[in-house]
Chain A
């Protein structure tokens, strides 16, 4: 099955991003596909290259990067949500791309399921 994923909350503040990651990982391990993950609301902070968590904690940004690279996942950050929160090309982590909300609607159309993680 093709799962599209939407992440609506920021890093470390909220469980949503962790749950989304665990879901994506588990789905792929079970043989499903995750063609696209869309980051919206505070979820855009998942794509900040400036994130520096303490060494003994999980690194949410690099964890996404690794998963996306290994499984060819298109990680899209909403441009409007990103700009109003100070995420732009200059501080966008590698492996993410900035685009419009149409990418979310398109993911909903193309995937078998769209799973939303948020408050």
Chain B
């Protein structure tokens, strides 16, 4: 399988990995607005690669990170690619655990209806509990 080591697996030969069979709970925490800095875009690249590893992956959106999944993003005027449709594609990668902090939505005058993907909205306290249950938390 070595020669099939492609961009999709991020430089990993899967033979060893499959043998290990370890499944960890990975949470990617998105805290920043989608444009203005590259964090959100590059975070999404990590999320997509993680899908190839058969791990228990979830995404959390809080603070300005909730803007990443707001409907109706138009980026033509700033000449930056609108990558928000990619969040809709996550389901196809079996990444379906998307958690959004309620307080972050409230503070920004947003509701679940403003979001372009199906999410689970939870309180800050519930989010903290969810984070505490993870094996790996990568914060962007």
Contacts and interface: CB of A to CB of B under 8 A. Distances in A.
Nearest to B135: A108
A100 B42 contact: no
Nearest to A41: B42
A94 interface: no
A102 B52 contact: yes
A101 B49 contact: yes
A116 interface: yes
Given A41-B39, A108-B136, A109-B24, A100 B55 contact: no
B138 A103 contact: no
B139 A118 contact: yes
Contacts of A67: none
B107 to A, nearest CB: 20
Interface of B: 7, 9-12, 17, 20, 22, 24, 26, 38-39, 42, 45-46, 49-50, 52-53, 55, 135-140
